[in-house]
Each structure stands twice: as C-alpha cells, then as structure tokens.
Amino acid sequence: MTEVELTAPNGRKITLPTGLFINNEFVKGSSSEKLASLDPATEEIICEVESATADDVDKAVKAARAAFIDPAWRDMIPEERARLLHKVADLVEEHKEDLYTLQAWDVGKLYPGSLGVESDLVVKCFRYYAGWADKINGTTIPISTNKFGYTIRQPVGVCGAISPWNFPLVNCSWKLGPALATGCCIIMKPSEYSPLAALYLAKLFKEAGYPPGVVQVVNGSGQEAGNALTTHLDVDKIAFTGSTATGKAVIKAATVNMKKVTVEAGGKSAFLVFDDADLEQAAKWAFAGGMGNAGQICSANSRVLVQEGAQEKFVGYFTQLAKNSKVGLPFDKGTTQGPQASKMQYDKVLQYITDANAEGANLVTGGGPCKVGDGKGYFIEPTIFTGVTNKMKIFNEEIFGPVIAVSTFKTEDEAVALANDSAYGLAAMVFTENMKTAVRTAMKLQTGMVWINESNNYDVKMPFGGVKQSGLGRELGESTLEAYLEEKVIHVNLGLQL
C-alpha cells in the first residue's frame, strides 16, 4: 500500500493512503503523473496522490461489476447492508479528527465547523440510509381472478459518483449512503482539488468490512478520470455534483449507454426580505447562508432582495456582520472565513468584483484580497454590493465566493419576478413574519427548495436539488433512492389459458 506520513497545521499526525482504492487495495496508477494537493491557505503542496487514467477507471469498473454479481454482495440481506453502513458511521465518528483535519487542510474549510456540523451531517447521512436498507419494498397488483402482478425494486448496478471540492465528505456521503443501502456498487471520483479526505474515508469502508469492489475511490482529473467514468459502457448510473457547465457535459456523455443520471449543479439563490421581517435575524441568516464556507456553497443566497422600506436597516445589520467577520487560517481560533479553495477560484471571484464595480454597483464593504499572515493564500474580504440590477453579472452568474448582490423590490409580485429571473433554480429563502406571505411566495418561486426564515439549514431527510439549469433529480431523503433502483414488473398467470 502506498501511503505518506503527514503533520497537519494543527499538529495532528496522520497516515494517509495515497494510492487509488480499487478492489479493496490502495494501488499505484498506470501513469507516472501524480495529483498534487495544495493548501489554499499557504499555497504549499501538502502531498501527492495517484491520479487515475482511463485504464485505471476501467479496472475499477471491472472490479465493481464483479462485486455486483458476487453472492457476497448480491445476496447480502438488507439488515447486513444496514449494519455495514452503521459501522461506517461509527468509524467516521471515531476518526473524525483525522478526516476533518485533512478536509480543512486540503481545501481551506474551517476546522471547528467541519469537525462539528459537517461531521454530524455525514454520520447522520450514513445512519439515515442504513435505516432505509430493509425498507425498499415493491407492490402487488390484482389484475383478474386468473392473474396478478407484483413489482420488485432492484439495485441499478455499477454507479459512478463525481463529487465537488466545496463539501468533500458531505457530498461523498450523499452518494455513498443511498447507493450502498440499495445494493449498488459505487466508484467515487473526488474533485482533483480535494483528493485527501476521500482516500482516508475509503480506508474506513475497508475496515467496516465491505467486500472488495463494492466501494472504490479513483482520484484524478475530470477530463481524464471523470470522462472515463461517465462514458464507460459498463457503468449504469452517474451521480454528479458540480458546475452547470460540467453537469451538461456529464449528461451528454452519459447518453452513450443511456445511464441513469442525477446532477446537482449551480445556483444563484435569491433571499427575499419583506419589510415586516425580523431584520436582524434576516441579516444573520443571509450572512451565514451567503458568506459561509467563503461563499463556496451551491445554494448560497448570493442575491439578496430587500423590500424598499427595510433596505437601510437590513443593509446596516448585514454590513456590520461582514466587517466583524475574521478572515484567517482555517485552524486558527476565532476565524470565521477561510480562503477560496484554489487560485482559479480566487481569480474568478476577484474578476466578478472588478466587473461589478465597472457595471456601476455600489460597493458597501470589502471588495478585494485580504492579507492573512505572511500574505500568502487565497483570501478575499467579505464583499457586499447594493444598487445591483438584474442586468449585472453579479446578479445573474454564480460567483462561488464571499460576494453578495443586494437589490430592492416594492411589491411581492416584483420580488417573485426578480427571484425567478435566473437561469438557475436551486433554492430560495423568504423572510417575513406573515406566514401567508411566506407560503404564497414559496409556491411561486421557481426553485427546487425554499427555506422560510432560515437559509441553507439542511436535513438528510429532506430532498436536495433544483430545477432549470440547477440540475436533474434529487439527493437526500427518500426521493434519491429511486435514482439507485430499477423497478421490475412480474406478471403471474394463475391459470389463464389460450
């Protein structure tokens, strides 16, 4: 097994496997090229891991197909699949300091928040789908005195899963949980910007007792490993989370053998603040839901629409929160915002700020790089613009950074029209003390999700996903199980003769 000994910024010593996890072993890739993990807070290389080629992906797919038809997995009773998922949840809890140290180090996520909130989300996800493993039932259908029919729901087969860098472990669990509960085999392809935590997680699946080939991890580039997974003729389903542009490419590639596809793509969520709202609470939720994780949240409320009478007071609260935010190193006590995950993302966000200034938006606070420590790292100030119109880039395009566009509206109808004026339809948030207004508005919003008087407060039992160019299908909740199942209809003749 290829592995490396690491000492993290918080002093934690971690033994990390660096190979591709194929057939329950960490192995070298077929290419001499390696994938470097770069600390976005210091711009220093943490380590290098194996990078999968198309040949390596093919090996993983063959191992997954063999595992899928092997009685050790194929005939495993649902209660045993549940037990294995519960064991993984136990191991995540046991090893969470290592897992979330790696995640914070790899992509700049805040360590305390990852260790608490995100760890809970991952554990709850595995336990939730463990609970579903023995509740996947069919139906019986009476047809006539001589015939009846019944349905069974069977695992779709070999699944490819492509996860993003902004929530590496959370997004892995959202795909692994339902796939394994339903009896599928799954090959994870983490983002090339966040390869480390998924490899450590793979080690835990082996320790939990999963048969070889059921769970595999192939780090690599999207162009090489991701494309090989989406176009492979022996992969039955692809689950993708990432940008809308890449999501479209995944959908197109999956047509090669008509794979089942779920895509959770980009967003530009509108946060509607009516003038009767608790404005101080609205500002706190808007800040957490828009600036959290350095703004790198697909459902981030990056468009804030405020009723005219409430604008001055709301923006005052909101601005103060931004000014009080502490941009710093992910492991430092008191840090509320870490770096952007990569130089590419850093440059992209700064360009949006430049464009907003050029288009005439009013810069209230922030607006540039933020120096932390010795000046290295990809840190950007929490940035708020007001006077934003629906013709500006920062109103329409997903920034994926700590930049919030504030616009105003007069009436409920105008608010809904502005919120729906988007190519995206992932989420929206409505703040008002009037529940009639809240529910009526939620019904009109063209999104897959609406939060009322909160923002981005996920629950594993609730489906997650969008409409329009924000994706296809849903993750989480009972809904996502269908993406990993095929319904088979069986006709039974009780004596009908020709």
Q: Which residues are catalytic?
A: 264
Residue 22 contacts residue 37 (beta carbons within 8 Å)? no
Would you give the distance in Å from CA 119 to the centre of its chain?
14
- Distance, in Å, from the CA atom of 22 to the CA atom of 45, rounded to the nearest integer, reads 25
Which residues face 490 on adjacent strands?
150
Looking at the DSSP bridge assignments, the partners of residue 3 are: 17
Q: Any idea which residue has 């795909």 for tokens?
A: 175
Give the Cα separation of 391 and 169 in Å (integer). 36
Burial class (CB in 10 A: 0-12, 13-18, 19+), 372: buried
Alpha-carbon distance 353 to 340, whole Å? 14
How many residues would you count in the chain? 498
Q: Is the dihedral of CA 168, 343, 290, 304 positive or negative?
A: negative
As a 3-state breakdown, the chain gives helix, strand, coil percent values, each rounded to 5, of 40, 25, 35
Distance CA 213, CA 73 (A): 10
Cα 85 to Cα 92: distance, rounded to the nearest angstrom? 11
d(CA 20, CA 60): 9
